[in-house]
Amino acid sequence: MFAQPAQPTQPPQDDHVNFVTATSGVDKSNKDIDAVFYLWKTYLSANPDSARQNPLWSSSANNSSQRFIGTDLVNTTYNALFGVTLYSQMYHAYRATVLSITKQRALNNLNNDVYVIKTLFGLANCSGFTLPLCITEVAAVREGKDFRLANILPYNTARWQKHTMGTLTFVTSPDRTFNEQAARRTQRFWDSLASSLRLPSTPVEYYLTDSHDNIMKMIGFDHYNGAGNVQSPRGFVDARNALVYGGGVGEWAPQEFAFLAASRAFPKAHYYFLKGYAALSIPEGAQAQKNSEKTLYWQMRRTSEYLRTHPALTDNVLAVQQIDTSGEGESAMNDVMDATGVWGGIVCRAAQQKGGAEAVRALFTFSDTDEGFFQALETVLGIKRTNVNDWLRARLAEYAR
């Protein structure tokens, strides 16, 4: 009836070595480059989607942030943005081609022997042209006699400014002026969320730079579908690793931190409820208007207008997941709103009105399946599955006035 981000696909149990190759320009006659290529190929061929700590990744805090040891941030970021893991695509049609393996000068003495592996993930279509999915960069660092993989993020941001406030660390690009007042506001907001949702103390890093493209570049995406387009300010969350990213946005980011808090507290909750809780958490009123924040009320108004001009979609509003919010002269690809937060926000608001914070938390205790979504509505709000569509339309009309 409606979809949420797909879950990672487990690979078949046969050999995947043929999924990874290198261009002729990769000099495998060089002993170190050949070792790095074999390491990367081995990793991609041995269930890299596994949640376990991978022994092929660096175990040294000198090579990567201690929090990210054994964690592939390129893969978790792709999953956070697109709802599927990057490497699961290889088990269908995509293949990995190593474009280059380049030795890099060490940054801030993090490591004296660092190679960067640049890989194209793509497929050949029927015309023979390559359809690229993305181009990624991952580091390989020497540990003793062997190489181990490491995230490129700590190397790319080694010279960025770091400002720690409580459990939050703001990591800002050198060209930015740090807004301490806004950061303090975010810290207080995060502390209130952590208390409300009973989160254990968790270190969180918030990376900020001037654009989404630059954030992706820092993480390790040299190219991704949509790169280079005119971009609005954008933030997103890697909940698994307690990371928040902001491209062109400020230190005050309530929606991203609310989504992170709910996702950390209830990792198996339905995606719509997590997005709805985040949208509901954006402060309304004059302060929000001053900061041009897209509050839940703003999102509901845009959704209501969109459905008014697309009446055929009202038969199943849960299937409406993206809404074009561009105006004349704007980029439609750039101005697409995620409507899942609207439907989830309506449910969370109704639960809040009925039973306060405890009723909202109750929504998160159901499974992340479609069935779990409908069970939550019936149990917490008394809305039967057959009435959900009409109920959502009525609440949208009421709340968007």
Residues 186, 138 within the same domain: no
Q: What is the pLDDT of residue 280?
A: 87
Residues 218 and 308 in one domain: no
| Whole-number Cα distances in Å, 373 to 296, 318, 376 | 20, 11, 5
- For residues 243 and 219, the answer to whether their CB atoms sit within 8 Å is no
Domain ends where: 150, 172, 195? 150
Residue 104's pLDDT is what? Answer: 84
Strands (E) across 289-368 are located at 322-324, 336-338
* 253 and 345 share one domain: no
Residues of the domain holding 207: 160-263
Looking at 201, 235, 263, the residue that finishes a domain is 263
Residue 12 lies in a domain: no
Note whether residue 10 is domain-resident.
Answer: no
Torsion of CA 343, 360, 353, 336, to 10 degrees: -20
* Sign of the dihedral defined by the CA atoms of residues 12, 73, 77, 229, in that order: negative
If asked whether residues 389 and 295 sit together in one domain, one would say: yes
- Does residue 53 sit in the same domain as residue 169? no
Residue where a domain terminates, one of 263, 286, 315: 263
Query: Which CATH number fits the domain that encloses residue 118?
Result: 3.10.450
Do 50 and 128 lie in one domain? The reply is: yes
Q: Where are the alpha helices (DSSP H) in 212-285?
A: 212-219, 254-265, 271-280
Q: Give the total number of structural domains in the chain.
A: 3
Q: Are 172 and 147 in contact (CB under 8 A)?
A: no
Indicate whether 294 and 342 sit together in one domain: yes
Q: Which pLDDT value is given to residue 331?
A: 43
β-strand pairing of 204-209 with 234-238: unpaired
In a domain, 2, yes or no: no
Same-domain check for residues 237 and 294: no
Please check whether residue 83 lies inside any domain of the structure. yes
Residue 32 domain flag: yes
The model's pTM:
0.86
Contact 53, 64 (CB under 8 A): no
Question: Quick check: is 214 in a domain?
Answer: yes
pLDDT of residue 13: 41
* Counts of helices then strands in the chain (DSSP H, E): 12, 13
Question: In terms of domains, do 135 and 87 share one?
Answer: yes
* Short-list 45, 40, 4, CA closest to 22: 40
Q: Which of 92, 84, 87, 183 is nearest to 136 (CA)?
A: 87
For every one of its 401 residues, what pLDDT tens digit does the chain have, with 9 covering 90 and above?
A: 565 444 434 444 444 446 889 999 999 999 999 999 999 999 998 878 765 667 888 876 444 455 665 589 999 999 888 888 898 887 667 889 999 999 987 655 555 688 999 999 998 776 767 788 899 999 999 888 899 999 999 889 999 999 999 999 999 999 999 999 999 999 999 999 999 888 888 899 999 999 999 999 999 999 988 777 767 788 999 998 999 999 988 999 999 999 999 999 999 999 999 999 998 888 765 344 333 357 888 889 989 999 999 999 999 999 988 887 665 344 444 467 788 989 999 999 999 999 998 999 999 999 999 999 999 999 999 999 999 999 999 999 999 88
CA atoms within 13 A on the CB side of 91: 19
Residue 364 burial (CB < 10 Å; 0-12/13-18/19+)?
buried
Q: Is the domain of 77 the same as that of 183?
A: no
